[in-house]
Amino acid sequence: MSRFLSRIYQTLLSTQQVTACLSLEGLQNLAYKRKRILLKTCLYITFIMLFFFSSLHAFVYQSISDQAFILELFTSLVALYAIMSLNRNPSRRNTDKIAQLSTLAFAAFLLLFVELNQNQNFSLIWAFFFPIFAMTINGPKIGLRYTLVFLTLLLILAYNGIGHWQAGLWSELGFIRLTAALLILSFIIYINEISLVNARKQAEQVLNKLQTQSTTDELTNISNRRHINEVLLKAIKNAERYETPLSLTLFDIDDFKKINDQYGHLIGDKVLCEMVLEIKKIIRATDDFGRWGGEEFLIVLPHETAESATQFCEKIRVCIEKMTFSECSKHITCSFGVAELQQGMTAEQLIDQADKALYIAKKAGKNQVQTAS
Residue 220 lies in a domain: no
pTM of the model: 0.64
Q: Which amino acid is at 298?
A: L
Mean pLDDT of the chain: 89
Residue 230 lies in a domain: yes
How far is residue 357 from each of residues 36, 96, 127, 342, measured CA to CA in Å? 55, 55, 75, 15
Range of the domain at 207: 2-213
Across residues 29-58, what is the average pLDDT?
Answer: 86
Please tell me the distance from the alpha carbon of residue 275 to that of residue 296, in angstroms, as a whole number. 12
Across residues 37-63, what is the average pLDDT?
Answer: 84
Residues 197 and 275 in one domain: no
Residues annotated catalytic, as ranges: 295
Of 178, 213, 248, which residue sits at a domain end? Answer: 213
Reply yes or no on whether the pLDDT at 279 is more than 80.
yes
Residue 219 lies in a domain: no
pLDDT of res. 59: 78
Interior/surface letters 186-223, b for 16+ CB within 10 angstroms, e for the rest? beebbeebeeeeeeeeeeeeebeeeeeeebbbeebebb
Please tell me the distance from the alpha carbon of residue 226 to that of residue 223, in angstroms, as a whole number. 8
Please tell me the distance from the alpha carbon of residue 275 to that of residue 278, in angstroms, as a whole number. 5
Looking at the structure of the chain, the number of domains it has is 2
Of 167, 192, 213, which residue sits at a domain end? Answer: 213
What are 192-238's pLDDT values in tens digits?
A: 999 988 988 888 888 788 877 889 999 999 999 999 999 999 999 99
- CB-based contacts of 247: which residues, under 8 Å, 6+ apart? 301, 304, 305, 306, 308, 309, 338, 339, 340, 341
Please tell me the distance from the alpha carbon of residue 134 to that of residue 75, in angstroms, as a whole number. 17
Q: What pLDDT band is residue 20 in, cutting at 50, 70 and 90? A: very low
